[in-house]
Every structure is written in C-alpha cells, then in structure tokens.
Amino acid sequence: MIRRSVVLGCGGYLPKKIVTNDDLAKLVETSDEWIVKRTGIKARHIAGPDETTSEMALAAARAALADAKIEAKTVDLIVIATTTPDNTFPATAAKVQAKLGLERGFAFDVQAVCSGFVYALAVADNFIRLGQARTALVIGAETFSRLLDWNDRVTCVLFGDGAGALVLGVEEGRGDKSDRGILSTHLHSDGRYYDMLRTEGGPGTTGASGHVQMEGKEVFRHAVVRLAEVVDEALAANDMKPEEIDWLVPHQANQRIIDGTAKKLNMASERVVTTIAEHANTSAASIPLALAVAVKDGRIKRGQIVLLDAMGGGFTWGAALIRW
C-alpha cells in the first residue's frame, strides 16, 4: 500500500467586474473579432481594489473547504501559486492561513507563473505522500491585471483575475492507476527562455513589479510542443492511453493551444474543459477555476481520470494526472 493525495473538494472565486472585448476596444486599438479569432477570449473578470490576491484566495479556499465538508482547522499545509502576491513578502499563503484562523501547520507561496498551479499541486502531493502533511489547501490566485500595461494591446487583452482552490487529503492506494488521487505529476523548466515571457524589472532589480512583456509567437510555438511532450510523459508514466482520460483541464492561455493539445490526444472538445472565453488567462488560477466550474456543473465526477497541463514564463511547464 502507498499514500495518495486525494481531492476532497474544490472551489473558485471570480471578481465582480467583467470587462468585455468591446470595453477594451475603447482603450486600445483592438477588436472583439481579433481577440476572439486569435485567442478565444470574449471577456475577463478584473479585480477591484478590495479584491486582493489574498482575499480571492481566501474566498476560493472557503468554497473548496465547504465542498469538501471539512473545517479549516484540519488544514496543515497551504500552498499558493501566485505571481501577484499582496506584498513582495511575506508569502500570501501566510496571510490566508491567518484569515482562516489557523495557528498551526505551514504555508508558503510557489512561483511558476502560469504553470504555478501544477507546481503547487506537485509540491503539496509530495508533502502528503511523505507523511509531512495530511490536509492541504492548494490555491492558484492572481490579480494579474495589476501587472498589465493597459496601453499595450498585445498583452492587456489576454489576462484576467481570479482564484481557485483544491483541498487534498490522504488515502491509501495500491500504487497503480486504479487508485483514487494524484497518480503522478511532471514538472519541467528551461531558463534559457527567461526573457520570452517576463515583467520588465522586479523588486530585486528596478524595485518595482514591472509590466508583462511577451514574445507571443515564440511562447505559442513552445507551448504546443512542450504540452504535447508532457501529456505523453504523464500517460506513459501511468501506462495509460489517451482514450482513458475523461477530462482534459488545461491552462487557459489560448483556445488554439488548447485545441492543439486536444487534437494530439484525439480528444473531442466535449471532453475538454474550457473557460477561456469568459475568464481569459488567469495565470496560476486558470486550472483550479476550470476544475471548480466543471465539478460544480456535474461534468467531473468521482472516479474519473482528469489530466491537467500548463505552460508559462521561465519557461515552465508541467502536467498532473488525477483520478478524481
């Protein structure tokens, strides 16, 4: 028998304010037609002044705990994936820990930009499987809108804000793909591409958080190749065929990238969870937000196989295979 991290619940939070493509066309030279055709995005939620990363993370965490029907006090690990912490330090996870009324356990942030949620999930899974935590909150939370140059049409149309959370618990499994829980996680990075997707400056260089800059075409090209590789790696590690996957829940950066991965897996669009049209790219929050939507509407059910994949700045990329 081996220890497995199992999903006990999930939840999400989206800011109240919705900004459509037509709204953006009043700010910069763009059009609903261009944005929809190139990305699949129709609208995004944008955080108000009180909707900080920690507040949205807290709301998502509470929704996930309610879904899991467990009390916050049982949580002994909080990992938040975020590129937009409330403060440069301490970790936003520490703030969420306090806001949940917790006085024990440990909490920290993980930084892998758009791959952040898959990284955070892998980290929490390893702590649980080693017996160093029993109940974990894994959160992706972003106020990415605060990193955008709202005069730059190339980047400002792509991103949105929000938070999503999973509660993980521990169960015993046989050690094969029939187990419930996280079956495997696969992480990669290649720092040679550091400058392809980044902010200009940061706390340790310019003393400011900076704005997002991206070589869109290069990122796109790498995303298609790397995601295809890493989903293959996840399937091979579990001796699984693409047809055994019930749901693909990808990072939501571009509908064309998502379609590329689905095509590679020969998966019909009905088996792919997409939120990009309404949420845009919420960086580390996009996967848990998509999971929250598809669990709530009854698509993802207990016992089904769910494949997550993501690619982001660094470059970082990764995948996780879960039996829900």
Applying CB under 6 A, the residues found at the interface with ligand UT7 are 30, 34-35, 38-39, 114, 153-154, 157, 216-217, 219-220, 223, 253-254, 257, 281, 311-312
Looking at the Cβ atoms of 214 and 240, the one nearer to ligand UT7 is: 214
CB of 110 to ligand UT7, least distance (A): 16
Q: How far apart are the C-alpha atoms of 258 and 264, rounded to whole Å?
A: 10
Looking at the Cβ atoms of 28 and 240, the one nearer to ligand UT7 is: 28
CB of 172 to ligand UT7, least distance (A): 36
Catalytic positions are: 114, 251, 281
Q: Which residue's C-beta sits nearest to ligand UT7?
A: 216
CB of 220 to ligand UT7, least distance (A): 4
Residue 159 exposure: Cα atoms within 13 Å on the Cβ side: 30
Q: How far apart are the C-alpha atoms of 4 and 310, rounded to whole Å?
A: 22
Looking at the Cβ atoms of 92 and 155, the one nearer to ligand UT7 is: 155
Q: How far apart are the C-alpha atoms of 165 and 56, rounded to whole Å?
A: 10
CB of 223 to ligand UT7, least distance (A): 4
CB of 239 to ligand UT7, least distance (A): 30
Residues near 47 by Cβ (< 8 Å), separated by ≥ 6?
Answer: 15, 17, 56, 143, 145, 146, 161
Looking at the Cβ atoms of 13 and 159, the one nearer to ligand UT7 is: 159
Looking at the Cβ atoms of 106 and 193, the one nearer to ligand UT7 is: 193
Q: How far apart are the C-alpha atoms of 316 and 114, rounded to whole Å?
A: 8
Q: How far apart are the C-alpha atoms of 154 and 10, rounded to whole Å?
A: 33
| Helix or strand run (H / E) with residue 119 | helix 116-129
8 Å CB contact between 78 and 57: no
* CA distance to 5, 124, 224, 289, 292, per residue, from 258 (Å): 27, 26, 8, 16, 18
Q: How far apart are the C-alpha atoms of 172 and 139, rounded to whole Å?
A: 24
CB of 137 to ligand UT7, least distance (A): 23
Looking at the Cβ atoms of 30 and 209, the one nearer to ligand UT7 is: 30
DSSP E strand boundaries for 151-234:
162-173, 181-189, 197-199, 212-214
Q: How far apart are the C-alpha atoms of 6 and 66, rounded to whole Å?
A: 16
